[in-house]
Amino acid sequence: MSTANIPPSPKPSSPTVAPSSSEKKPTYVLDSFAILALIQNEPGKETIAELVERAEANESTLLMSLINWGEILYTLEREQGVERLAKLKKAIEEFPISLTEVTRTRVESAAHIKSQHRVSYADAFAIALAQELGATIVTGDPEFKSVEQQVPILWLNP
């Protein structure tokens, strides 16, 4: 796949050239919208598939908060049932996405973000993680419009 559709994360190398060992790889924080778009064949799936390929090639880093992981799990179980969830969970766990622990500092950051913006609590964790690491959020969720000035966002459905 071409990387022309994916803008670089802050301070990256050129998106068409793998970073040298002295350059920081682009880092992306995925919210539940991004993963659900991929596994449910929704708009934006091509972009997520491309990001997964780049992460598999060690050209970028994909992260997700455990809070967003929980959001994916309850959404899939509610919409598709426990048996289907087990299959999808196994498939998702094969993706090169690192799940990040919830720290007290991140909880406090997410709480502050939630108090200031009309975003879900889970989304506040994605925002806090991206701000902490200087990463780009990958989403199509319109709730993130309220934080566009505070964190880079790669929109799946611009």
What's the pLDDT tens digit per position in 20-54? 444 689 999 999 999 999 999 999 999 999 999 99
Query: Over 70: is that where the pLDDT of 101 sits?
Result: yes
Asked whether the beta carbons of 44 and 140 are under 8 A apart, the reply is yes
How many domains does the chain divide into?
Answer: 1
- 98 has a pLDDT exceeding 50: yes
Is the pLDDT at 120 greater than 80, yes or no?
yes
> What pLDDT does residue 157 have?
80
**Does some domain include residue 13?**
no
| Distance (Å, whole) CA 29 – CA 9 | 10
Residue 104, in any domain of the structure: yes
We report the CATH number of the domain holding residue 75 as 3.40.50.1010
Asked whether 43 and 78 are in contact (CB, 8 A), the reply is no
DSSP string, the chain: --STTSPPPSS---TTSPPPTTSPPPEEEE-HHHHHHHHTT-TTHHHHHHHHHHHHTTSSEEEEEHHHHHHHHHHHHHHHHHHHHHHHHHHHTTSSEEEEPP-HHHHHHHHHHHHHSS--HHHHHHHHHHHHHTPEEEE--GGGGGGTTTS-EEES--
What is the pTM (predicted TM-score) of this model?
A: 0.84
Entry field: residues in the chain? 158
Instruction: Please state, in angstroms and rounded to a whole number, the distance separating the CA atoms of residues 123 and 24.
Output: 25
| pLDDT score recorded for residue 14 | 29
pLDDT value for 9: 45
Q: What pLDDT shows up at residue 24?
A: 84
Average pLDDT over residues 102-111: 97
In a domain, 14, yes or no: no
Residue entry with tokens 């596994």? 39
Structural domain contains residue 9 = no
Q: pLDDT band for position 13 (50/70/90)?
A: very low
pLDDT at 122 over 80: yes
Q: Which pLDDT tens digit goes with each residue over 57-76?
A: 999 999 999 999 999 999 99
* 140 falls within a domain: yes
Q: Is the dihedral of CA 117, 120, 122, 126 positive or negative?
A: negative
Residue 12 is predicted with a pLDDT of 33
Range of the domain at 130: 27-155
